[in-house]
Amino acid sequence: MKILDCTLRDGGYYTNWDFSQEITDVYFKAFNSLPVDYLEIGYRSGPLKDYLGAYFYCPVSLLTKIKEKSKSKLVVILNEKDVKASDARAVLEPCIGLIDMVRMAIDPKNFERAILLAEEIKKMGFEVGFNVMYMSKWKYQSEFLKSINKVDGLADYFYMVDSYGGVFPNDVKETYNLVRSESNVKIGFHGHNNMEMALINSLTAMECGADMIDATVSGMGRGAGNLKTELLLTALNARDGLEVNFNALSEVVDSFEELQKEYGWGTNLPYMVSGGNSLPQKDVMEWVSKRYFSFNSIIRALQNQKEGKKDNEELKPFAPQKTFKKAIVIGGGKSSVLHIEAIKEFIAKESGDICLIHASSKNAALYNDLVGIDQFFCLVGSEGHRLENVFGNIKEFKGTCILPPFPRKMGTYVPSNVMNQSYELSKSDIDYPLNDTHTILALQTAMELKVEELFLVGYDGYPKESISSKEHELFIENQAIFNSLKGKLKMISIVPTTYEIDSQSVYSFLV
């Protein structure tokens, strides 16, 4: 019997498949010393709508780094509904030599289609796993049960997945026997923990003869979560004498328990009810995790005229000679830092026909090493002071500063060393009462540059924090600005965002 840990894949439902370098380093190091045979590190997919993180797309650059760190066999999973057999080679061929097994998450009604996908996967030399969902309903699906024998010689593992987390040991035995009566395939079990039955159901599957069991660190997984890896290893150590490095196990558990404090997975009454009645976890998860969103305050700093500063100084109009098909607008949110490597890789792939527009200078220094990329900096209020602090030696500043149209009601501070690189907009085409917000300035700059496709980073939102009245006002303001440009300017957030705008993961462009 083998063990597969799928923390990074199943836990991604809480983190949007983003995990810090720190926690993944602890994860891979610990499992190098633990009796776990396979690590399922995430999904593999073609580009999908909305933001999904690195461990959903598993770009080759990420897989290569993991391969260097991990001694375990590596696994990715496909959502069968999202990957056609004709697309399998394009999605998976880059992974040859980097992963060992490809599993498929399968709705029983699509089983015949999954067979065709599995055949293409097998041709590429991967082990193949069928993760067939909704096992609590299989006994009512006679056509599916009669088709199970088609996996013989094709599937390396056929999984019974307790999608709703509500089966009992007798159900496990019954379902195991149903599968075994139709096929000689190796059988696995993936248990959810809505009814806190994941351990006993997994042990029951083992007693039936199951060849592989899934688990996750601290039970991290969709909805109520899964069988805890540490619980399974401890049980097998106590019962069967399985050798376990508890120091390594403790280190990785400690790391994920910190994440659990943040995301709060685990069962509760709504999950218990959903499990007991085979109700979709997705709906319950959305209800349980619904929170007020917050957004880091970007307060417009105003130059106080009483300080004796020049107010409303008229500058040269912004009349760019160069235009760009694409631009990235960078706000002050954490995503512009957390995903900087992917963002830079994305910029490099665009072959120079892209520019950067910094709505906020907060994280601008991190992008200062980009060679040959035109960068524009929006100066509103006292943002010029931040520019000085960020770059330190402002004398080496190479960007172009853009100010709101004249006259600027509150005035704008412009560092003397960048005055010759500063311009003001002549107008604002955006239908909004204010024309001097960071966001309007950035979007109008993009329009002046004739940008056809605009990518947003750093417009995040912070769903775990309370939101002040000023933050709420800014959030509403930005959303109204975005709404006013729908159909006029193509905007896509390529990092997580709580704004109601189109989104697509930056990692999807790197596959």
Q: How far apart are CA 179 and CA 195, in angstroms?
A: 24
List pLDDT tens digits, range 469-479: 556 667 788 88
Q: ∠ at Cα 125 (58, 67), nearest 5°?
A: 40
Q: What is the SS3 string spanning 204-225?
A: HHHHHCCCEEEEEHHHCCCCCC
What is the 8-class DSSP label of residue 325? Answer: S
Average pLDDT value for the chain? 87
Q: ∠ at Cα 82 (79, 85), nearest 5°?
A: 95
Q: Is the pLDDT of residue 504 over 80?
A: yes
Asked whether the CA dihedral 145, 44, 228, 74 is positive or negative, the reply is positive
CATH number at 2-288? 3.20.20.70
Average pLDDT over residues 105-129: 97
Does residue 453 sit in helix, strand or coil?
strand
**Using 50, 70 and 90 to split pLDDT, how confident is the model at 275?**
confident
CB-based contacts of 262, cutoff 8 Å, min separation 6: 464
For residue 460, the model assigns a pLDDT of 85
Token pair listed for 9: 């894949």
- Give the relative orientation of helices 246-263 and 229-240 as an angle to the nearest 10 degrees: 150
**Using 50, 70 and 90 to split pLDDT, how confident is the model at 31?**
very high
**Using 50, 70 and 90 to split pLDDT, how confident is the model at 301?**
very low
For residue 54, the model assigns a pLDDT of 97
Average pLDDT over residues 5-25: 96
Q: What are phi and psi of 276, to 5 degrees?
A: -65, -20
List the chain domain ranges.
Answer: 2-288, 305-509
Residue 446's nearest CA partner among 328, 300, 315, 316 is 328
Q: How far apart are CA 246 and CA 252, in angstroms?
A: 10
- The answer to whether 508 touches 57, Cβ cutoff 8 Å, is yes
User: Which of 158-162, 397-401, 472-476 has the lowest average pLDDT?
Assistant: 472-476
Q: Is the pLDDT of residue 368 over 90?
A: no
Q: For the whole model, what pTM was predicted? A: 0.71
For residue 220, the model assigns a pLDDT of 97
Q: How far apart are CA 366 and CA 381, in angstroms?
A: 22
Q: Is the pLDDT of residue 308 over 50?
A: no
Q: Is the pLDDT of residue 281 over 90?
A: no
Residue 495's nearest CA partner among 333, 359, 356, 295 is 333
Q: Is the pLDDT of residue 253 over 90?
A: yes
CB-based contacts of 68, cutoff 8 Å, min separation 6: none
Give 131 or 308, the one with higher predicted confidence.
Answer: 131
Q: Is the pLDDT of residue 463 over 70?
A: no
For residue 100, the model assigns a pLDDT of 98
The rounded percent of the chain whose pLDDT value lies above 70 is 87
Give 341 or 277, the one with higher predicted confidence.
Answer: 341
Contacts by residues 395-404 (CB-CB < 8 Å, ≥ 24 positions apart): 397/421, 399/358, 399/364, 399/375, 400/374, 400/375, 400/376, 401/376, 401/377, 402/318, 402/376, 402/377, 402/378, 402/441, 402/445, 403/315, 403/379, 403/441, 404/380, 404/428, 404/435, 404/436, 404/440, 404/441
User: Which of 49-63, 67-81, 187-201, 362-376 has the lowest average pLDDT?
Assistant: 362-376
List pLDDT tens digits, range 205-230: 999 999 999 999 999 998 889 999 99
Residue 280's nearest CA partner among 228, 227, 222 is 222
For residue 66, the model assigns a pLDDT of 98
